[in-house]
Amino acid sequence: MTNDKLNCKVLVTPTSFGKGDPALKTAIEKSVREVVYSPFDRPLTSDELIPLVKDIDGYIAGLDQIDEQVIQAAAKLKVIARYGVGVDRVSIPAATRRGIAVTNTPGANSAAVAEMSIGLMLSLCREICRADRGTRKGEWPRVSGIGLRGKTVGLIGFGAVGREVASRLKGFGCRILVSDPQLNTKVAEQLGVYPTPIEELLAEADFVSLHASLNPGTDSMVNAGFLSNMRRGSFLVNTARGELIDEQALQVAIEDGHIRGAALDCFRKEPPGKDHPILRLDQVLLTPHIASHTDEAASAMGWMSLQACLSVLRGEKSPYTVNRDIYEKKS
């Protein structure tokens, strides 16, 4: 062990950490005494995490369920460095009570998620997946879709990802309506999008794309009422969080033809289980929470989360700290 290695043990659970950028693993292994990688190739449940967190000092976290029990079990833990932006699966109150810094990686994956959202929109309106399935089977399906040009897209949430989606959709000739309680009107003006009350947005949009974070106010926001306010024959895209949608209400709206199609990259329960009724609907395009999975985003999330984790372990304040009140308590 060299002198500048931190005498710390760090748990690393994101499945893509260092896969496309091996320098990340070299860097973390050179920086701390011990690194433990997740034994699973998916996000961990609270029960799976408890034995793994017992003696760790730092934790670079994928989309694991980091609840109060996990935090209680992690007696030495000083930092939970989320590899991504959302911190909805981390019990922030429990971490804050213990003085554990929770950090994230703002901006690191916004381009990747925006590109995926647009890819899903294009796949929906041109039925690319159905055409692929048919062609593979030896069929020659005469799929005919609709174009994006001239369509109205409603963005729910206008943070980093929503803005990246908007700037790209401009190139497709779309009219963009946005709804966000914390809307930055200056940015909206710069990007040429129209702040619009939600009912109006839903009534006018051909596509509704979700870019809101998950919190008690947004949980199940896409319910039967929301869906019935959406224009008949419109599409829904979700690359944000599964919990934003009441999946049963969506199933009903698709089955009765009110919603023409949906593309879902995330689900209430992940994976959703092979008996989930939504899996049977041909009009629904499903992907396994991979919107941020590009080499570029994985590398940016990896370096930012590593930097945040090491800063806190060195006793410094990370600029990416979400629960900044822990620093006030300490000073």
Residue number, 205 or 322, with CB nearest to ligand DGY? 322
Q: Does 218 bind ligand DGY (CB under 6 A)?
A: no
Give 113's contacts (C-beta < 8 A, 6+ positions apart).
161, 164, 239, 291, 292, 297
> In the bound complex, what is the minimum distance in angstroms from residue 43's beta carbon to ligand DGY?
9
Residue number, 31 or 292, with CB nearest to ligand DGY? 292
What's at 195, amino acid-wise? Answer: P
Angstrom CA distances, 264 to 16, 32, 111, 120, 166, stand at 21, 38, 18, 9, 19
d(Cα 163, Cα 197) in Å, to the nearest integer? 18
> Is the CB of residue 169 less than 8 Å from the CB of residue 175?
no
- The residue to which tokens 């409603």 are assigned: 154
> In the bound complex, what is the minimum distance in angstroms from residue 264's beta carbon to ligand DGY?
13
Residue of closest CB approach to ligand DGY = 84
Q: Does 244 bind ligand DGY (CB under 6 A)?
A: no
The number of helices, as runs of H, and strands, as runs of E, in the chain is 13, 12
Q: Is 23 strand, coil or helix? A: helix
Q: Does 106 bind ligand DGY (CB under 6 A)?
A: no
- Per CB under 6 A, the list member of 86, 99, 134, 145 interacting with ligand DGY is 86
- Per CB under 6 A, the list member of 35, 63, 188, 300 interacting with ligand DGY is 63
Q: Does 74 bind ligand DGY (CB under 6 A)?
A: no
Would you give the end-to-end CA distance of the chain in angstroms? 32
> In the bound complex, what is the minimum distance in angstroms from residue 130's beta carbon to ligand DGY?
27
Angstrom CA distances, 161 to 89, 212, 243, stand at 19, 9, 18
- Per CB under 6 A, the list member of 85, 148, 222, 264 interacting with ligand DGY is 85
80 CB neighbour count, 10 Å cutoff? 32
- Per CB under 6 A, the list member of 13, 31, 103, 109 interacting with ligand DGY is 109
> In the bound complex, what is the minimum distance in angstroms from residue 21's beta carbon to ligand DGY?
16
Q: Does 162 bind ligand DGY (CB under 6 A)?
A: no
Residue number, 243 or 247, with CB nearest to ligand DGY? 243
Catalytic residue numbers read 241, 270, 289
Residue 75, classified by CB atoms within 10 Å of its CB into exposed (0-12), middle (13-18) or buried (19+), is exposed
> In the bound complex, what is the minimum distance in angstroms from residue 65's beta carbon to ligand DGY?
13
Containing H/E element for 60? strand 58-61
Residue 98, classified by CB atoms within 10 Å of its CB into exposed (0-12), middle (13-18) or buried (19+), is middle
Q: Does 308 bind ligand DGY (CB under 6 A)?
A: no
Residue 220, phi-psi category: left (phi > 0), alpha (psi -120 to 50), beta (remainder): left
Which stretch in 82-90, 121-129, 176-184, 223-231 sits in contact with ligand DGY by CB under 6 A? 82-90
Binding residues for ligand DGY, how many (CB under 6 A)?
6
- Per CB under 6 A, the list member of 13, 58, 81, 84 interacting with ligand DGY is 84
Q: Does 305 bind ligand DGY (CB under 6 A)?
A: no
> In the bound complex, what is the minimum distance in angstroms from residue 86's beta carbon to ligand DGY?
3
Which residues lie across from 86 on neighbouring strands?
none
Stretch 1-20: interaction string toward ligand DGY, x if CB under 6 A:
--------------------
Q: Does 214 bind ligand DGY (CB under 6 A)?
A: no
Summarize as ranges the residues that interact with ligand DGY (CB under 6 A).
Answer: 63, 84-86, 109, 292
